[in-house]
Amino acid sequence: MMNTSLKTLNQISDFLKIPVKNIHINEKELLTCTIDKKPVCGFINIVSELLRKSSVLNYNGNIEIYQWLEYALVYASKVDCATNSRQILDELNEILANRTYLVLNILTVADVTLFYFLHNTMAHLSNVEKEKYINVCRWFDNLQQNQCLTNRKELVQFNTNYLSLFVPLKHL
């Protein structure tokens, strides 16, 4: 989990264009880094500090963003386990049924964080699973169109031709 959080934190700092120095796990097993010569401890605290310094995303301290960051750290960081991934994708699929983004109507760090945590899982979904999690796939595909997010990542393919094999044509 810590390695995933460490990797995700590096990706978020790259996306926000804020240099972070000396990211490591301290003796208390907390993520720690230096931002502007100031030590910062804890995943959410680091992300909050990055947001305060960033001009990439509009951030107004919305409590819902903090809740999603906590969700990402507690649940999505453990998405590599099959049971966890199904539960997380089920929850997100329901939440994203009527939303384009997780919070507000704009891209926030909550979306960015979950995008990075879920990238590997989404890349390995079968076509049938992609259909099952259609709302998550729509959200994910929307985010991956942002070149700043997918800077060094391979795009996940969402091929709709698969359905045409199983959905009969309706004849009038």
For residues 81 and 134, which has the higher predicted lDDT (pLDDT)? Answer: 134
pLDDT at 165 over 60: no
DSSP per position, the chain: -HHHHHHHHHHHHHHHT---EEEEE-TTS-EEEEETTEEEESHHHHHHHHHHH-SSS-----HHHHHHHHHHHHTGGGTTSHHHHHHHHHHHHHHGGG-SSSSTTS--HHHHHHHHHHHHHHHT--HHHHHHTHHHHHHHHHHHTSTTTTTTSPPPP--THHHHTTSPPPP-
Q: How many CB atoms lie within 10 A of CB 74?
A: 10
pLDDT at 163 over 60: no
**31-85 pLDDT tens trace:** 898 888 888 998 888 988 888 888 766 666 578 888 999 999 988 888 877 778 8
Domains of the chain listed by start with CATH number: 2-163 (1.20.1050.10)
**85-129 pLDDT tens trace:** 899 999 999 999 999 999 988 899 999 999 999 998 999 999 889
pLDDT at 138 over 90: yes
Q: How many residues does the chain have?
A: 172
